[in-house]
Amino acid sequence: MRVRKKPWAAPYIKDHADLIVTDPASQLGHWQERFPSQQPIQVEIGIGKGQFIIEMARQNPEINFLGIEIQESVIATALRKLVESGLTNVQLVETDGANIDTLFAEGEVDKLYLNFSDPWPKKRHTKRRLTAPNFLVHYQKVLKKAGRIQFKTDNRGLFEYSLMSFNNFGMTFEEVWLDLHNSDGNVGNVQTEYEEKFSAKGPIYKLVAHF
């Protein structure tokens, strides 16, 4: 999806360097230094406008959250929300989440969130799906032992593919929801902007699994 460029985004990001990282490779192995307290680190890849990660941080002050987003205009909107929230246990990262193995040291992350990732439906694009084995290898490297991945989508094809991919990789399933919003799994569910907008059109699928 093409995102309209926001002229204010770049200067706003520059003015809030205490809350957003634009050179993430320099933080490898030192992400805890970005936070007031050393706490477990959880990472969302593709934060959109930031609703999910900011609300998660508000509800879980004992956890440090990192939100990755490649689109400058999109992450600037999330940054503005973060500034308004006053939260200190969230940091944003402007980069491509596909390169996560170059951003974190081995075992530096406790949990990963993949929310409504691009389904890349064409077969020739399979390796671009964030739940493909080529990505799982990198996730396993940066996650602590038994570190979890939480995945949500409204795309049944991607959900079925992800089930197969996780299973074939030898992961252990902790939760599998075929209609999250009409199940017990919806208790405490923090929604993304996309989820709020499109959940009425069909079921939301959710997986939680660990290596």
DSSP assignment string, 110-158: EEEEEES-----SGGGGGGSTTSHHHHHHHHHHEEEEEEEEEEES-HHH
Q: Is residue 118 annotated as part of the catalytic site, yes or no? A: yes
Q: What angle do CA 90, 68, 122 make, to 5 degrees?
A: 150
Is 12 annotated as contributing to ligand binding?
no
CA 33 to chain centre: 20
Of 15, 118, 179, 184, which is the active-site residue? 118
Contacts of 127 (CB under 8 A, 6+ apart): 134
CA distance 13 to 57: 20
Using DSSP bridges, classify how beta strands 143-153 and 205-210 pair: parallel, antiparallel or unpaired.
Answer: antiparallel
Is 122 annotated as contributing to ligand binding?
yes
Both structure tokens of 183: 């199940």
Q: Residue 32 CB: number of other CB atoms within 10 A?
A: 14
CA 105 to chain centre: 17
Is 184 annotated as contributing to ligand binding?
no
Is 192 annotated as contributing to ligand binding?
yes
Print burial letters for 85-105: b (CB count within 10 Å at least 16), e (below 16). eebbbbbbbbbebbebbebbe
Is 197 annotated as contributing to ligand binding?
no
Is 44 annotated as contributing to ligand binding?
yes
Is 69 annotated as contributing to ligand binding?
yes
Is 160 annotated as contributing to ligand binding?
no
CA distance 36 to 87: 11
Is 96 annotated as contributing to ligand binding?
yes
Is 15 annotated as contributing to ligand binding?
no
Binding-site positions for substrate read: 122, 154, 192-195
Binding-site positions read: 44, 69, 96, 118, 122, 154, 192-195
Q: Supply the residues annotated as catalytic.
A: 118
Binding-site positions for S-adenosyl-L-methionine read: 44, 69, 96, 118
